[in-house]
Chain A
Amino acid sequence: MLKENLLAISLRTVFAWAATLLLFFPLGWLFLTAFKTELQAIHVPPLFVFEPTMENFGEVQRRSDYLLYARNSLITSLGSTVIGMLIAAPAAYSMAFFRTRHTRDILMWMLSTKMMPAVGALVPIYVLAQTAGMLDTLSALTLVFMLSNLPIMVWMLYTSFKDIPGEILEAARMDGATLWTEFRHVVLPLAVGGFASTGLLCLVLSWNEAFWALNLSSAKAGTLATLIASYSSPEGLFWAKLSAASLMAIAPIVVFGWFSQKQLVQGLTFGAVK
């Protein structure tokens, strides 16, 4: 009986690790390549052992002003998340604590707006932006990111507000709390986790956003997505630099993602999976 279990566990371990390493390999390779020289990067056969160098990171900054794009990514991600939360929080609060007959329908409607393909709005938004002279501006991008993620923010905040047991709020009411004191002393402290994970998720989604970034911005307001895209057909050897740039672009988000897995499932499946 024990031997059987040992065999099962060993097989499982081997297969799981094999599959994992296989799947993770491209990322691992990206990581390694970032520290190679260009010649090492295209070496045939591929090099696993080499002397690492940091020169690519500097090059990327010099050549294409990585910091500018990073700054734009940061501004648009943070901006869209913060503004979005300011709009979403009151709505979620109202729907969680002042439920009406229509609450469910309104929530469903909000979610459905997220399901519409972005390409459906591409033309009008592009035309609008062009007419308003807002092409290639950070404000346009921030606004569009915010609107794209608003339904998810409302949804996630709604679920975290709902997770607060109703009886605790009733106890507060019996203790003499007004609406505002109830919010300040009970709801807010208990929903802090929800705010954090909602914010995190939206940061990730905005940071990775490619469709609008590529279509509405270029040189001035371009985000890291734009920068990476520009490597699609440059001149000369560039793999190591591409890897370095990519690494710098994805590292923070991948790490964020490791910490917020559960919230992501909730947010992206609109809570349909428990």
Chain B
Amino acid sequence: MAYLELQNITKSFADAHIIKGVNLAIDKGEFIVFVGPSGCGKSTLLRLIAGLEPITSGKLVLDGQDISHVQSGKRGLAMVFQSYALYPHMSVYDNMSFALKLAGVDRQTIRQKVSQAAASLNLTQYLERTPKELSGGQRQRVAIGRAIVRSPKVFLFDEPLSNLDAALRGNTRVEIHKLHKVLGATTIYVTHDQVEAMTLADRVVVLKDGLIEQVGTPLELYDRPANRFVAQFIGMPSMNMVAADAVPSFSQLSGGRLPQDGFLGVRPEGVRVYPKGQGLGEPGRVDLVESLGADTLIHVDVHGTQLISRQNERTPLQAGEGVQVELDPSALHMFTREGRALHA
């Protein structure tokens, strides 16, 4: 029996169907990431779980109990909001103890729990300050602390890193990961950033237009995407897509299994670019070379199709040069015209 179950959840606002039927089973202690493009419904789904919006139809079961119509505060969940949503007129201590105070917990216990959470987040010296006096990163930790103190059954994170600058984002991501290892709490984390999805998740749920496209571990999604959308959403730069009739010699590599109107997919690391005269691949032309230091990305044009190749070594190639382009036959993905993946 899963810890948290979403059964046929739908959500509509007047005529707009935001969530069109979601089924998901989450185990205790799992770190689940909802990821997808803007408007896919991931935040709405989170808010439905939190109880901030009512479910149009379907059931939500937590630890054996149907919480579909239970008030937010009584579901045993805690949420970290995108804008942190700290109480501006209360001190950090009061922010973190508010929920416990409302629940009637005695002062001793409150003090103990808050100090513990504050210590684990390096917030002890800021307990008497108000949110105004804190930096963005500190405020975010207070928001997390507020959730930890309640020892909830499930943690909900709504794009917590999107308001931080790039450097802080990397650090905080690592801290959240470590925190999860320590607390082992069931967590649902919403983000549009697939790097966060790949690094933090036990399992990733890819959403598009209110429906789940695929659920799996990060590497499962990377290696065996179920459709074109997932294939191109996960992985940076995106997987290259070649129409079946665009470059016949490439399509033949599939051994005839690729449908006439389908697509061949290959990740940048599966595309090799050789200077003219070397290698056996298709002739092409370099459009652009991006040297990132540890990686080099080469944009090539093969018979009108754009491909990106990734390699570890630096390259002497320049834009405009003729090259030979080869694909690694073991790294190919095949998709029907509708976008469904064909697995060997």
Interface residue? B50 (CB, 8 A): yes
CB neighbors of A among B76-121 (8 A): 77-79, 81-83, 85-89, 98-99, 102-103
Residues on B with C-beta less than 8 A from A59 are none
Residues on B with C-beta less than 8 A from A165 are 83, 85
Report B73 CB to chain A, min CB distance, Å: 3
Contact with B along A250-264 (1 / 0, CB 8 A): 000000000000000
Contact with B along A77-91 (1 / 0, CB 8 A): 000000000000000
- Indicate if the CB atoms of B85 and A171 lie closer than 8 Å: yes
CB contact under 8 A between A177 and B85, given known A170-B52, A171-B79:
no
Docked Cα-Cα span, A215 to B334, in Å, equals 87
Docked Cα-Cα span, A170 to B43, in Å, equals 14
CB contact under 8 A between A190 and B89, given known A173-B73, A175-B73, A181-B102:
yes
Contact with B along A178-196 (1 / 0, CB 8 A): 0001000110011000000
Instruction: Give A167's nearest chain B residue, CB to CB.
Output: B85
CB neighbors of B among A40-68 (8 A): none
Q: Secondary structure of the B side of the interface? A: loop
Residues on A with C-beta less than 8 A from B83 are 165, 167
Contact with B along A138-179 (1 / 0, CB 8 A): 000000000000000000000000000101101111111100
- Indicate if the CB atoms of A174 and B89 lie closer than 8 Å: no
Residues on B with C-beta less than 8 A from A167 are 81-83, 85
Instruction: Give A192's nearest chain B residue, CB to CB.
Output: B89
CB neighbors of A among B30-64 (8 A): 50-52
Docked Cα-Cα span, A173 to B53, in Å, equals 12
Docked Cα-Cα span, A168 to B143, in Å, equals 11
Docked Cα-Cα span, A176 to B102, in Å, equals 7
Interface residue? B172 (CB, 8 A): no
Categorize the interface residue count of chain A.
10 to 19
Docked Cα-Cα span, A171 to B90, in Å, equals 13
Residues on A with C-beta less than 8 A from B73 are 173-177
Instruction: Give A181's nearest chain B residue, CB to CB.
Output: B102
Docked Cα-Cα span, A168 to B84, in Å, equals 8
Report B113 CB to chain A, min CB distance, Å: 14
Interface residue? B72 (CB, 8 A): yes
Which of A170, A189, A190 is in CB contact (< 8 Å) with B81?
A170
Which of B71, B78, B88, B103 is in CB contact (< 8 Å) with A190?
B88
Residues on B with C-beta less than 8 A from A174 are 50-52, 72-73, 77-79, 99
Docked Cα-Cα span, A181 to B103, in Å, equals 11
Interface residue? B343 (CB, 8 A): no
- Indicate if the CB atoms of B102 and A175 lie closer than 8 Å: yes
Residues on A with C-beta less than 8 A from B79 are 170-171, 174
Instruction: Give A188's nearest chain B residue, CB to CB.
Output: B89
Report A98 CB to chain B, min CB distance, Å: 15
Contact with B along A202-246 (1 / 0, CB 8 A): 000000000000000000000000000000000000000000000
Docked Cα-Cα span, A186 to B99, in Å, equals 12
Residues on A with C-beta less than 8 A from B77 are 174
Residues on A with C-beta less than 8 A from B50 are 174
Residues on B with C-beta less than 8 A from A173 are 52, 71-73
Which of B82, B86, B102, B146 is in CB contact (< 8 Å) with A177?
B102
- Indicate if the CB atoms of B52 and A168 lie closer than 8 Å: no
Residues on A with C-beta less than 8 A from B150 are 175
CB neighbors of A among B113-134 (8 A): none
CB neighbors of B among A18-56 (8 A): none
Residues on A with C-beta less than 8 A from B88 are 168, 190
Docked Cα-Cα span, A267 to B83, in Å, equals 29
Residues on B with C-beta less than 8 A from A185 are 87, 98
Docked Cα-Cα span, A172 to B50, in Å, equals 12
Report A102 CB to chain B, min CB distance, Å: 15
Report A78 CB to chain B, min CB distance, Å: 27
- Indicate if the CB atoms of B99 and A175 lie closer than 8 Å: yes
Report A100 CB to chain B, min CB distance, Å: 13
Residues on B with C-beta less than 8 A from A186 are 87
Report B205 CB to chain A, min CB distance, Å: 22
CB contact under 8 A between A168 and B74, given known A174-B50, A175-B99:
no
Instruction: Give A171's nearest chain B residue, CB to CB.
Output: B85
Residues on B with C-beta less than 8 A from A181 are 102
Residues on A with C-beta less than 8 A from B72 are 170, 173-174
Highest count of chain A CB atoms <10 Å: which of B74, B77, B78, B81: B81
Report B199 CB to chain A, min CB distance, Å: 26
CB contact under 8 A between A170 and B85, given known A175-B73, A176-B74:
yes
Docked Cα-Cα span, A168 to B98, in Å, equals 12
Q: 20 A-B pairs, CB-CB below 8 angstroms? A: A165-B85, A168-B86, A168-B88, A170-B81, A171-B79, A171-B86, A172-B98, A173-B71, A173-B72, A174-B51, A175-B73, A176-B74, A176-B102, A176-B103, A177-B73, A177-B102, A181-B102, A185-B98, A189-B89, A190-B88
Ranked nearest first, the 3 interchain pairs of A and B with the lowest CB-CB distance are: A176-B73, A175-B99, A167-B85
> Which residues of chain B have a CB within 8 Å of any CB of chain A?
50-52, 71-74, 77-79, 81-83, 85-89, 98-99, 102-103, 146, 150
Please name 9 further chain A to chain B contacts, defined as beta carbons within 8 Å, in addition to the given A174-B77, A174-B79, A190-B89, sorted by A numbering: A167-B81, A168-B86, A171-B79, A171-B87, A171-B146, A174-B73, A175-B98, A175-B150, A185-B98
